[in-house]
A and B are shown apart, each in its own frame.
Chain A
Amino acid sequence: MTRHVMVADLRRCIGCQTCTAACKQANATPPGVQWRRVLDLEVGEYPNVRRVFVPTGCQHCADPPCEKVCPTTATRRRPDGIVEIRYDLCIGCSACMLACPYDARYKTERREYGFGEKPTEDEAMRADDSLLGVATKCNFCADTVDAGVARGLTPGEDPEATPACVNSCISGALVFGDIDDPKSGVSKLLDENKHFRMHEDLGTDPGFYYVWDQDLP
């Protein structure tokens, strides 16, 4: 079996937001929509303070709450672990947005552009009205992954089979791959390091791991 997962090595992440911007550009998302983003968090009281940067987005849960509440089966988990939304089935009811514990979903009702009312040439070319009025979120760049796999490429190793955020990551914090393959980069990274998953207690079995080796104040 294959389960595609993401690992964010928090020892490496510095919150540069290159992944955020790369995701926006790869997926032509409108202003304010960030399928991938990096949180800037502070813990403790002066002077014993820590600040950490936490990439987040859809956690591609094995037991996704969003899938359970979807009345149209638009949200579904693929056999390879990617949780996707079939926009042609989504009715925009927003139940999934409420159900998601990770605040990972967005809905946009009208076209919006970086510079205001008028689209730039690239925005005009890439605007996709099928994404209006429906829930949207990170899909691990499934089109890229699928096209790469079809060409015999390995997601997480070959850029042409790898999500845009991972390709863009300058610190090497984001790693993608098949956790069911013990030789994959993600498997090795998790085997060798302490890690956690967000809201693991909710039992959603997220497919997004965080490598972190320190105690917080």
Chain B
Amino acid sequence: MKARATPQVSNVPSYCYNCVAGPDLLTVKVVDGVATQILPNFAAADIHPGNGRICVRALGLIQKTYNPNRLRTPMKRTNPHKGRAEDPGFVPISWDEALDTIASRLIAVRALGLTDEAGLPRVAASFGHGGTPQSYMGTFPAFLSAWGPVDFSFGSGQGVKCVHSEHLYGEFWHRGFTVSADTVSSRYIVSFGANVEVSAGVCAVRRHADARVRGIKRVQIEPHLSVTAAASAEWVPIKPKTDAAFMFAMLHVLLHEHPRERLDVAFLRDRTASPYLVGPNGYYLREPQSRKPLIWDGGRSAAVPFDMAGAAAALEGNFTVEDCVEIGPDRTTWRHQRATGATAFTRLVEHMRPHSPEWAAPICDVPAATVRRVANEYLDNACVGETIEIGGSVLPLRPVAVVLGKTVNNGWGGYECCWARTMLAVLVGALEVPGGTLGSTTRLNKPLGNRLASVKPGEDGFMAANFNPTDRAHWAARPTGRNAHRTLVPLVGDSAWAQALGPTHLAWMFLKEVPNHWQRPSAPDVWFVFRSNPAISFWDSGRMVETMANMPFVVAFAYTFDETNHMADILLPEATDLEGMQLIRIGGTKFVEQYWEHQGVALRQPAVAPRGDARDFTWISTELARRCGILEPYNTAINRGAGCVPLKGSNYDFSLDPSRVHAVEEIWDAECKAATAQFSNGAESKDLAWFKQHGFYTVPYKRSDWYLYPAMVEKNLRFELPYQERLFKAGRELAHRLHEHDIHWWDAQLEEYAPLPLWDDVPARWERALRKMGGDPAAYPLWLITTKSMQYSAGNNVGIPLMNEVAGNMRGHGGVILNVVTAKHLGIRQGDPVEVRSMTGSTRGNAVLIEGIRPDTVVIIGQFDHWKTPYAKDLHYPSLNTVAPLSLDLTDSTGSGSDLVRVSVRASTQP
């Protein structure tokens, strides 16, 4: 027998950041050059909130690497006709031909001008899931930065698949791009559909598991019994999209059924706008000279500016104020010699008076006693008055939180839900303090990712807000991107991320048809796509594909063929997860439940050689920059920090020579050295070789920096709640601007700008939209919703058999989930093929009959219905996206929509 040589085994540290809940730090076991296992990086156990463990999706990276369906060479399209039914005729080409083709196109575009006649960027780019592709695209951000204006308007699901309204309102009110419970200190969490056990990654799973063992109570309120509901103390099945009514009733209980001292009166008085006096026109009463909002000083029995030292601010009451002004939209000013002002808190109390649990019960289809009990339990656990010491600082302890899931916190009703959730925290002083409701990171306010540093004084005693201007002189009447984020959504601002958080489906819709008095945008001359498959991940996927087919030149970084790159002109296979190199930031506070006590950087490195002729993304980026003649600005962008960190700081300098081409390892070696120098304040500098061995570098991050409250106190700022004067004013100004241009198709969205959100029977909006499309709601009696699964949090791993196999252990995977009694009425048995039909389409799957779902609700997990992606297309799994309409009527004022469709379900003769 032939003796077998001793295998060469190595364990290569790396990371997985395939969803926003990462990154997870891992090691790749490599045997004789072949990756065989993905393991946790146990060295990270002490610095990672999830005990250094990795999520199930990371284990799919072996099959992802060796997937026989991978594209191994660049390819070009030979069929100029595009469409689902067209064979693109892709043929292999060399990298030189591919890159020269792209470069020549880009150079020609540059010669025409970086923007078109309408001022829209001629180059567009779409990246998938929550910015995570950036952890795989090397220095491509530096290429885009060097290029100039790029339109990120074309969403791959943003707005309809993210927690969109929460992004915007969360950042506005408490720098919470995403919002989480402070799980590690909390005692009672009310969760409206936040399915954190599957969507918030390893950190959330571990934090919540520890909390359950510790004795936390979580009440999960949602139409179906999700994984998170299973892991909760109680499941309350609520009618879809009525969550705001439940929360309004909780506010009612707190405000009308308990003595005021049960609330955190000091927090309300000193850290919110509750004492600000609201005038008869709905705007703050202000001192005529300083224009500062007025409060009622009980000591002086007079109205004084909100920042008057020593004032005894009245929290409640109506007061007569002499000589004051109100300032409305477009600086409309009302001068009052004598006006009655109610405190914002009094306005709130009156606003919530009708919304009792008895009012909410029939709306939510939840007993009033349940609503009242949850509210009372919330209050009982709030521990108003208690404190905790964290890192030497004494902070309030308010161990209660309310969290919201997708479809609750986006689309219509999102404003009401986000506001009510934040108000529930505010009433008991549980906003941004230990145990309470916290923001995670910033994306719309600068500096990006540093929420504490983003706390800067603004107007009226609040944090600075970053609204897009709505006054006549500065309003962007002409959109600067195809989704018109600056024009239509004041709240989203204009940060680097703002474009991608505009009404991204409008960019797609307007390419096809435009509403009245709106200029049809051009299709971008060049569209880059990476880790994004909007043909599947957006709604009305059939229409999406038709629109995409009109894109004149599409460059897709392509792992396999898929439904979006079916329309591409050039396919570029990049060295993927286990093959490429990149340094990223880790730790601090990030999306969802990423609350670390460390921060630093982690390296992704080639554990195995790239398959075929796949190339490192940084090499591709450098070559594109060189061939386009923008090498110098590209290198300069890297030096500035576009790769990971600035290469030059106050006590280090690893800058690259801007004039020459740098090898991939040379770039990342500089990044490694610069990052470690930055994090160690110049004390040490670790090179690429060190990182290849150790994988990550961290320094401590203060836990007290998880909370915004100390920064608010230090800067003597107030949370901009409960009253929304600024939003109200912006909405009125926006209405003026649009109406001046005879634009009225955004009027429903403009109505959402209420200073105190109104309950408006949110589910009825879907019924009205259905009627408008010519349908009868009675013919579509069921509510179709979707939910994520741990194995498929994003769609970029649908081609991996291991994920499908293990996901198959979870009920409902790949099927249509129905209540057993509903199914019986419809004559549907377990496993029967069924058709789910909406006004705009149909999707098919096998029935999964369960008890843990409302009789009026249908659930389809994940995003499937593929017709091109290898492996996935043969699964024949259904998808909500196929039947959800892209609709202006179902778009809220932030530009988002909810994963919700009225459908019928019937037994299908087709499998």
What residues make up the interface of A, taking CB atoms closer than 8 Å to B?
9, 11-12, 14-18, 20-22, 24-26, 28, 31-32, 34, 37-40, 42, 44-47, 49-53, 114-115, 118, 120-123, 125-126, 159, 167-173
A24 touches B67 (CB 8 A): no
Given the complex, which residues of B lie within 8 Å of A53, measured CB to CB? 227, 230
Give 4 nearest A-B pairs by CB, closest first: A120-B66, A51-B230, A114-B801, A17-B806
Within 8 Å by CB of A15, from B206, B213, B810, lies: B810
B809 touches A16 (CB 8 A): no
Given A120-B63, A122-B66, the answer on whether A38 and B852 have CB atoms closer than 8 Å is: no
B806 touches A170 (CB 8 A): no
Given A11-B209, A14-B209, A16-B55, the answer on whether A168 and B40 have CB atoms closer than 8 Å is: yes
Residue of A9, A47, A123 with most partner-chain B CB within 10 A: A47
Given the complex, which residues of A lie within 8 Å of B55, measured CB to CB? 16, 18, 170
Q: How many Å lie between the Cα of A44 and that of B850 in the bound state? A: 10
B851 touches A42 (CB 8 A): yes
A121 touches B34 (CB 8 A): yes
Within 8 Å by CB of B802, from A15, A44, A47, A114, lies: A114
Given the complex, which residues of A lie within 8 Å of B402, measured CB to CB? none
A14 touches B205 (CB 8 A): yes
What residues make up the interface of B, taking CB atoms closer than 8 Å to A?
31-32, 34-40, 42, 50-51, 53-56, 59-60, 62-63, 66-69, 197-198, 202, 205-206, 209-210, 212-213, 225, 227-231, 235, 237, 790-791, 800-802, 805-807, 809-811, 819-821, 850-855, 871
A40 touches B790 (CB 8 A): no
B227 touches A31 (CB 8 A): no
Within 8 Å by CB of B36, from A118, A122, A172, lies: A122
For residue B561, give the distance in angstroms from its CB to the closest CB of chain A.
15
For residue B794, give the distance in angstroms from its CB to the closest CB of chain A.
15
A24 touches B853 (CB 8 A): no
A168 touches B36 (CB 8 A): no
Within 8 Å by CB of A46, from B51, B213, B811, B852, lies: B852
Within 8 Å by CB of A20, from B38, B229, B806, B850, lies: B806
For residue B798, give the distance in angstroms from its CB to the closest CB of chain A.
14
Given A42-B850, A170-B53, the answer on whether A52 and B802 have CB atoms closer than 8 Å is: no
B59 touches A171 (CB 8 A): no
Residue of B54, B63, B791, B805 with most partner-chain A CB within 10 A: B805
B205 touches A16 (CB 8 A): yes
Q: Which residue on A lies nearest to B801, using beta carbons? A: A114
7 extra interchain contacts, Cβ-Cβ under 8 A, other than A15-B230, A17-B807, A46-B851? A14-B197, A17-B810, A21-B802, A24-B802, A25-B37, A42-B852, A120-B67
Query: What are 30 A-B contacts with C-beta separation under 8 Å?
Result: A11-B209, A11-B213, A14-B205, A17-B807, A24-B805, A25-B59, A31-B801, A32-B805, A34-B805, A37-B806, A37-B809, A42-B850, A44-B851, A45-B851, A46-B853, A49-B851, A49-B852, A51-B227, A51-B229, A51-B852, A114-B802, A120-B68, A159-B40, A159-B42, A168-B40, A170-B202, A170-B205, A171-B205, A172-B209, A172-B210
Q: How many Å lie between the Cα of A168 and that of B55 in the bound state? A: 8
Q: How many Å lie between the Cα of A39 and that of B230 in the bound state? A: 13
Q: How many Å lie between the Cα of A22 and that of B213 in the bound state? A: 25
Given the complex, which residues of A lie within 8 Å of B197, measured CB to CB? 14, 16
A169 touches B53 (CB 8 A): yes
For residue A104, give the distance in angstroms from its CB to the closest CB of chain B.
15
For residue B28, give the distance in angstroms from its CB to the closest CB of chain A.
11
Q: Which residue on A lies nearest to B813, using beta carbons? A: A40
For residue B815, give the distance in angstroms from its CB to the closest CB of chain A.
13
A172 touches B38 (CB 8 A): no
Q: How many Å lie between the Cα of A210 and that of B229 in the bound state? A: 20
A31 touches B40 (CB 8 A): no
B809 touches A15 (CB 8 A): yes
Q: Which residue on B lies nearest to A160, using beta carbons? A: B42
Given the complex, which residues of B lie within 8 Å of A31, measured CB to CB? 801, 805
B206 touches A25 (CB 8 A): no
Q: How many Å lie between the Cα of A42 and that of B853 in the bound state? A: 11
Q: How many Å lie between the Cα of A120 and that of B799 in the bound state? A: 14
Given the complex, which residues of A lie within 8 Å of B805, measured CB to CB? 24, 31-32, 34
B810 touches A40 (CB 8 A): yes
A115 touches B59 (CB 8 A): no
Given the complex, which residues of B lie within 8 Å of A34, measured CB to CB? 805-806, 809
Given A31-B801, A46-B852, A120-B68, the answer on whether A12 and B213 have CB atoms closer than 8 Å is: yes
Q: Which residue on A lies nearest to B806, using beta carbons? A: A17
Q: Which residue on B lies nearest to A172, using beta carbons? A: B209
Given the complex, which residues of B lie within 8 Å of A49, measured CB to CB? 225, 235, 851-852
Q: How many Å lie between the Cα of A200 and that of B852 in the bound state? A: 28
Given the complex, which residues of B lie within 8 Å of A15, measured CB to CB? 227, 230, 790, 809-810
Given the complex, which residues of A lie within 8 Å of B806, measured CB to CB? 17, 20-21, 24, 34, 37
Given A14-B205, A37-B809, the answer on whether A52 and B31 have CB atoms closer than 8 Å is: no
For residue B41, give the distance in angstroms from its CB to the closest CB of chain A.
11
Given A49-B235, A115-B871, A120-B63, the answer on whether A26 and B37 have CB atoms closer than 8 Å is: yes
B809 touches A20 (CB 8 A): yes
For residue B290, give the distance in angstroms from its CB to the closest CB of chain A.
54
Q: How many Å lie between the Cα of A14 and that of B821 in the bound state? A: 27
Residue of A45, A125, A171 with most partner-chain B CB within 10 A: A171
Given the complex, which residues of B lie within 8 Å of A20, measured CB to CB? 56, 806, 809
Q: How many Å lie between the Cα of A39 and that of B809 in the bound state? A: 6
Within 8 Å by CB of A16, from B790, B800, B854, lies: B790
Residue of B51, B62, B820, B851 with most partner-chain A CB within 10 A: B851
B40 touches A21 (CB 8 A): no
A42 touches B36 (CB 8 A): no
For residue B403, give the distance in angstroms from its CB to the closest CB of chain A.
16
Given the complex, which residues of A lie within 8 Å of B821, measured CB to CB? 46
Given the complex, which residues of A lie within 8 Å of B231, measured CB to CB? 14
For residue B200, give the distance in angstroms from its CB to the closest CB of chain A.
11
Given the complex, which residues of A lie within 8 Å of B213, measured CB to CB? 9, 11-12
Q: How many Å lie between the Cα of A32 and that of B54 in the bound state? A: 22
Q: How many Å lie between the Cα of A14 and that of B788 in the bound state? A: 14
Residue of B63, B198, B820, B871 with most partner-chain A CB within 10 A: B63
Q: Which residue on A lies nearest to B7, using beta carbons? A: A125
Q: How many Å lie between the Cα of A188 and that of B202 in the bound state? A: 25
Q: Which residue on B lies nearest to A124, using beta carbons? A: B34
Given the complex, which residues of B lie within 8 Å of A37, measured CB to CB? 806, 809
Given A21-B56, A40-B809, A42-B852, the answer on whether A47 and B237 have CB atoms closer than 8 Å is: yes
For residue A106, give the distance in angstroms from its CB to the closest CB of chain B.
13
For residue B229, give the distance in angstroms from its CB to the closest CB of chain A.
7
Given the complex, which residues of B lie within 8 Å of A44, measured CB to CB? 851
Given the complex, which residues of B lie within 8 Å of A12, measured CB to CB? 209, 212-213
Q: How many Å lie between the Cα of A104 and that of B851 in the bound state? A: 27
Given the complex, which residues of A lie within 8 Å of B210, measured CB to CB? 172
Q: Which residue on A lies nearest to B36, using beta carbons? A: A122
Given the complex, which residues of B lie within 8 Å of A123, measured CB to CB? 66
Given the complex, which residues of A lie within 8 Å of B801, measured CB to CB? 31, 114-115
For residue B780, give the distance in angstroms from its CB to the closest CB of chain A.
22
Given the complex, which residues of B lie within 8 Å of A42, measured CB to CB? 225, 811, 850-852
For residue B470, give the distance in angstroms from its CB to the closest CB of chain A.
45
Q: How many Å lie between the Cα of A170 and that of B198 in the bound state? A: 12
Q: Which residue on A lies nearest to B227, using beta carbons? A: A14
Q: How many Å lie between the Cα of A115 and that of B800 in the bound state? A: 8
Within 8 Å by CB of B50, from A14, A125, A170, lies: A170
Given the complex, which residues of B lie within 8 Å of A9, measured CB to CB? 213
Within 8 Å by CB of A173, from B36, B63, B209, lies: B209
Q: Which residue on B lies nearest to A43, using beta carbons? A: B851
Given the complex, which residues of A lie within 8 Å of B800, measured CB to CB? 114
Q: How many Å lie between the Cα of A126 and that of B67 in the bound state? A: 16
Given the complex, which residues of A lie within 8 Å of B853, measured CB to CB? 46
Given the complex, which residues of B lie within 8 Å of A169, measured CB to CB? 53
Given the complex, which residues of A lie within 8 Å of B36, measured CB to CB? 25, 28, 122, 125-126
Q: How many Å lie between the Cα of A16 and that of B576 in the bound state? A: 24
Given the complex, which residues of B lie within 8 Å of A167, measured CB to CB? 39-40, 42
For residue B582, give the distance in angstroms from its CB to the closest CB of chain A.
23
